Each structure stands twice: as C-alpha cells, then as structure tokens.
Amino acid sequence: MVTAVYNTKGEPVGEIELRSDIFESSINVPLMHQAFVRQMANSRQGTHKAKSRGEVNRTKSKWYRQKGTGRARHGSRNANLFVGGGVAHGPTPRNYVKRMPRKMRHAAIRSALSVKALDEQIVVLDALEMAAPKTKEIASMLGGLGLDVNKGKTQVLILLPEGSDMVEKSARNLPSVKTLRANYLNIRDLLQCDHVLMPISALEVIEEMLG
C-alpha cells in the first residue's frame, strides 16, 4: 500500500510504501475485541473493598432484649440493614489481569492498523520537530492536514519515535490529541482514535516491532 508523505504545512512531499504484512493484514475483529478487553481489564486496580458485618468496628453485644419490646428480633448492630453496619456481599480486592500471548497482541495491533489504513486514517509526515512547546503550532499543523481538533470531534493519535518534550507539551493542551511513543503502541489507543499521525521515523519503529 502506497500513501502520501506530508510536511508540517500539509503539503505532499513524496510517497512511501506501507508494509503489506502490517497495514494490509487480515482483519480479525474478535481478536481485536479480545485484546481490547484484556487491556481494559489489566488497567483496573482491583483495590475495591467494603467491610462485612464481621469487620465493622461496632459493639458485638445484643442491641436490646429479645422479647417484650414489640420490635423485630436483632442480635447485633453490625447487620447490613443498620446505618454503620456491614455491607452484604460487598466488593473485595481481586486481580483482574488477563493473559494474552505476545503474538496475538501484535496480530490485534496489525488488524487495527490495517483498518486505519483501509479507511485512509493514517497520515505520514516527513518529520515532526519543534523548537519550543507551542500548542498553536500543533493545532495549525493538524488543521493544515485536514484534522480539525479545535472542536474536539476528531481524535488524533500522534506517534513519536522517542520522547519529545516539545511535541508532548504542545499537544497535551488539546483534549482530542494524544501523543504516544511508537514502541508503546496499543490496541486501546488505536481503536479510540479517528486518525493516526506519525513521522517516518516512528513508522520505522512500528515496522521493526511488528514486522
């Protein structure tokens, strides 16, 4: 698959061929869903906890006498129907981690990249460098590429070959733009964005990782 290469002004400066084994692989929707569910599950901390009636710090003695009060029989104020009592069947700490082989994870990412390439949602730049952090420059560059992020309707994922404070600081003030190092590419960010923007150097990192 051949796609155009643009500069930061939105002008086409050449073409580049995207590897067919990455950007034209078979699209496996169930595999992408499995990888997405795994990533979302692994991001959960699992530290939720509610005290049961045996764990609340209240008196263990009988609240009032068994008979003669006209009220229901109760043996403890720790019961879940009283304010300050324990929670019945409440949440307890657990581990949500799901396992998935690396080959399957990479295959899911290749499927997602193939979907983006098929829908012409991948934009390749010749280079992406900034001398100073300026959000206005990033917004202007994206607008020149036909990606209007000011209204927040277009979600853009910018892939970088390595950490760049200038680009990351410039883009973080735009709520619909996210920057990510290419070697951290994951299925969640791919599926949640509308367009993927990457310089050629970041494309090389992806090809080395998934090829």
Angle at alpha carbon of residue 112, lines to 24 and 211, rounded to 5°: 55
Residues 33 and 134 in one domain: yes
Asked if residues 166 and 185 have their Cβ atoms less than 8 Å apart, the reply is no
- Residues 77, 172: one domain? no
Do residues 98 and 91 touch, judged by C-beta distance below 8 A?
A: no
Domain shared by 29 and 103, yes or no: yes
pTM (2 d.p.):
0.84
End-to-end, the C-alpha distance of the chain in Å comes to 15
Task: Based on the fold, state whether residues 115 and 165 are members of the same structural domain.
Answer: yes
pLDDT tens digits along 66-89: 999 999 999 999 999 999 999 999
Domain match, 106 and 12 both: yes
Q: Are residues 64 and 18 in the same domain?
A: no
What's the total number of domains in the chain?
Answer: 2
**Can you give the CATH number for the domain in which 155 is found?**
3.40.1370.10
140 and 151 assigned to the same domain: yes
33 vs 188: CA distance, rounded Å:
10
pLDDT grade for 152, boundaries at 50, 70 and 90: low
Full domain range(s) for residue 60: 47-95
With a cut of 90, say whether residue 147 has pLDDT above it.
no
Residue ranges of alpha helices (H) inside 43-176 are 102-118, 135-144, 165-171
pLDDT digits (tens, 9 = 90+) for 12-28: 899 999 999 999 999 99
Among residues 95, 130, 156, the one where a domain terminates is 95
For the chain, the 3-state helix, strand and coil shares in percent, each to the nearest 5, are: 35, 15, 50
| Nearest alpha-carbon partner for 1 in 112, 145, 118 | 118
Same domain, 28 and 79: no
Boundary-marking domain end, from 58, 75, 95? 95
